[in-house]
Structure 1
């Protein structure tokens, strides 16, 4: 299965199915709290499946696992329906802070998430011989400008996630309970589209997508 197909499957399991399950349970007169609890545990299935398959999570897997485990723990321990409605907002806020904290780490989260989808599709050709794209590990080690791009991108994502979190928490405490899950799901789509636009506006001028960009010139000027 391609990385894009895997990403779409995760969206289905982790977002669409929980929202659909919530409204099915509410239609069956299940209480707000019970419906939220049951539906919020569903995304953990994909994380468990990933851990069983890979056994040793990488940095990206650790991030996703921690977010899902934290979400499940909140669902099980908290009995306030409004807080559960706001849970996605609080988890999103933690994600935003984690993004910002990773800027000073070995590799920022925006780099880890993006290489999962785009590595091998963008960047210069290996040694200019057309045998494939240069490894992002090589680009990271040899190009300071490449590292700077992903640190800035990670800051942008961190700020975006914190903004998204503030909107989610506000909705959870001000709107009718049955409206929040559906709007929250819609907000994921709107947020992702807006962030993709912002990232394209930032990344394209850096030359990241142009294999002849000056960004990659140091690879030719220094020995491999």
Structure 2
């Protein structure tokens, strides 16, 4: 007569435990590997659309010694190609790629006016305003741009959590509200940083603004992270509840 056991292999009246948890260990390792691969796949668009253009600009300008316009043109190559390919193949617009393209085009358009040191500082603020404005518009239009950057950290490469995100983002009112709020915070903070930098550019000494401009940006990022974190936490909790259900 067989004995009913939990977590053991049963044969007749003799039960044997699985060998030293080898199966469990292998399953856990496979899960961790899948999670890492999923996170990498989710972060790849961010790396291509944001990190590559920025990195290309700094390498071209700071390392190769190209002028600002030429360096911005080099940084525009990847987002331009991805935007065009998206329109031709998928009949859709890659939001992040298009945003980086617009930022570079604005930088090129304003680069001719950088003879004035104060205007050069204000130009950097205008670039921030383009990004902040685009984020705000995307949130108000119901397609919050910051969700793409936040999602990998919430779903953590887990297929079930990723599927839960898709379901909730498609129709859950509360989930969508927190998505929009997250983007609104970031967009608003970037616009506030832009306004502070423009005011400082024309009211404070140039030598002061050279380092204070960076402080403004870092402060905006820190404040946005702190203020927006509760919305991200609510999204994570909702995802966990949906996945468990």
Q: 1:20 to 1:46 in 2, by over 3 A?
A: closer
1:94-173 pair list within 5 angstroms: 94-115=130-151, 117-118=152-153, 120-121=155-156, 126=160, 133-134=162-163, 136-173=165-202
Instruction: Kindly state the Cα deviation for residue 78 of structure 1 after the two structures are TM-superposed.
Output: 6.0
Q: Distance in 2 between matches of 1:94 and 1:211?
A: 31
1:22-101 equivalence runs, <5 A: 38-39=67-68, 42-52=71-81, 55-56=85-86, 58-76=94-112, 79-101=115-137
Gaps of at least 5 residues in structure 1 are 26-34, 127-131
The structure where helix makes up a greater share of residues is 2
**Contact 1:92–1:162 (8 Å) recurs in 2:** yes
TM-score, scaled to structure 2: 0.61
Runs of 4+ in 1 over 4 A off after TM superposition: 7-14, 16-21
Cα contact 1:97–1:162 (8 A) shared by 2: yes
Aligned partners of 1:122 and 1:210 also within 8 Å: no
Contact 1:122 1:208 in 2 (8 A): no
Instruction: State the structure with bigger RCO (CA 8 A, min sep 6), 1 or 2.
Output: 1
Computing the radius of gyration from Cα coordinates, the structure with the larger value is 2
Work out whether residues 76 and 101 of structure 2, in 8 Å CA contact, stay in contact via their aligned partners in 1.
yes
CA RMSD of aligned residues (A): 3.8
Alpha-carbon shift at residue 60 of structure 1 (Å): 1.9
